[in-house]
């Protein structure tokens, strides 16, 4: 379990730097350690993540700091049913559901895809990575559903890993976004780096970060009475940066339906179709699905391509839009 500590800012600490305030309250931590904790996104002021040590605290601010437990040395098995789309002696292709983290990390050491894999396959997975990521070559966000390839041996891991490095893997996603992106089809090429104000988010950067390329095309624009315009967009990734599609959609002036991190948390409508609003509220995370995955099979040396069905919440919303548009 993670340890948390909560403080309330008193009169004598009003307008004090966050790192100074916490160093006074937690005497066994140095300013340097406290700064690292703040920058990791583990400090909240009034329930909002603050990643800046120089942030000034105000009278009656509520401050919550979380100390992450040390990561386990051994990956523990969890019995979780996997949606396996394809399997042979070398690879697995899995359709990951929304809400599942791919591998253990800060605050998520159980019930991940890696925990499920080690339960089912034990030591029959590649061990190229550390002990907490057997077979894992790539990942998709917790609240994004869709296809992942897993390596059962180190040869397959190496060959697939090279294809990811060479950007020869074909990954296509479907998403629903507010409004209309102009042009309707295009290529987004930017640098992406950590958001300095919130280290849990990514952002487009002009001068630093990793190159990120998303090719997109608008499949359908839904213009329906009592519903804001919505676009169904297909995105093909050349790179696989953290939150890449969501960051690039924001860069283009929109955000995905259900995305509370890069969009607005509490959308308010002057007038809204009740059925649509009900289905929108039922979205479990952003409307983003990794629908297809193509690569050269590591031992058969031939091109293989896999397709997956939309998750139920995405499909229901999309069907409703189709029906309402006639």
31-39 and 18-25 helices, crossing angle to 10° = 120
CA-based radius of gyration for the chain: 22
Contact between 28 and 88 under an 8 Å Cβ cutoff? The reply is no
130 in catalytic set: no
**Any bridge partners for residue 66, and if so which?**
4
| CA dist., res. 170 & res. 296, Å (int) | 10
Residues 6+ apart with CB under 8 A from 232: 174, 175, 176, 218, 219, 220, 221, 222, 318, 321
Q: Which secondary-structure segment (H or E) carries 315?
A: helix 312-325
Catalytic residue among 19, 61, 90, 141, which?
141
DSSP secondary structure string, 267-280? Answer: ---SS--HHHHHHH
CA 81 to chain centre: 21
Decide if 95 contacts 83 (C-beta within 8 A): yes
What residues are annotated to the active site? 141
């Amino acid at each position: 379990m993670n340890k948390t500590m909560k403080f309330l800012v008193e009169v004598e600490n009003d307008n004090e730097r966050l790192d100074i305030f916490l160093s006074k309250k937690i005497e066994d931590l140095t300013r340097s350690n406290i700064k690292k904790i703040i920058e990791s996104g583990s400090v909240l002021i009034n329930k909002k993540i603050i990643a800046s040590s120089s942030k000034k605290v105000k009278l009656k601010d509520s401050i919550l700091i979380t100390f992450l437990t040390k990561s386990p040395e051994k990956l523990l098995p969890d019995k979780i049913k996997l949606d396996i789309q394809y399997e042979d002696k070398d690879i697995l292709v899995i359709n990951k559901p929304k809400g599942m983290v791919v591998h253990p990390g800060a605050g998520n050491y159980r019930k991940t895809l890696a925990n499920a894999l080690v339960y089912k396959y034990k030591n029959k997975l590649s061990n190229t990575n550390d002990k907490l990521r057997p077979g894992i070559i790539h990942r998709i966000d917790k609240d994004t559903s869709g296809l992942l390839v897993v390596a059962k041996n180190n040869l397959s891991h190496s060959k697939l890993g090279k294809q990811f490095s060479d950007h020869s893997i074909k990954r296509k996603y479907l998403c629903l976004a507010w409004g209309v992106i102009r042009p309707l089809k295009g290529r987004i090429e930017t640098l992406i780096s950590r958001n300095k104000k919130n280290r849990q988010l990514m952002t487009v950067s002009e001068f630093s970060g990793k190159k990120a390329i998303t090719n997109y095309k608008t499949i359908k624009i839904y213009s329906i009475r009592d519903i804001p315009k919505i676009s169904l967009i297909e995105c093909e990734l050349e790179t696989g940066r953290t939150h890449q599609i969501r960051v690039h959609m924001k860069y283009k002036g929109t955000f995905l339906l259900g995305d509370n991190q890069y969009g607005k948390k509490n959308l308010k409508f002057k007038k809204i179709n009740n059925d649509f609003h009900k289905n929108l509220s039922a979205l479990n995370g952003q409307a983003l699905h990794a629908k297809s995955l193509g690569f050269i099979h590591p031992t058969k040396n031939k091109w293989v391509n896999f397709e997956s069905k939309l998750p139920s919440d995405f499909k229901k919303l999309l069907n409703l839009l189709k029906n309402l548009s006639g």
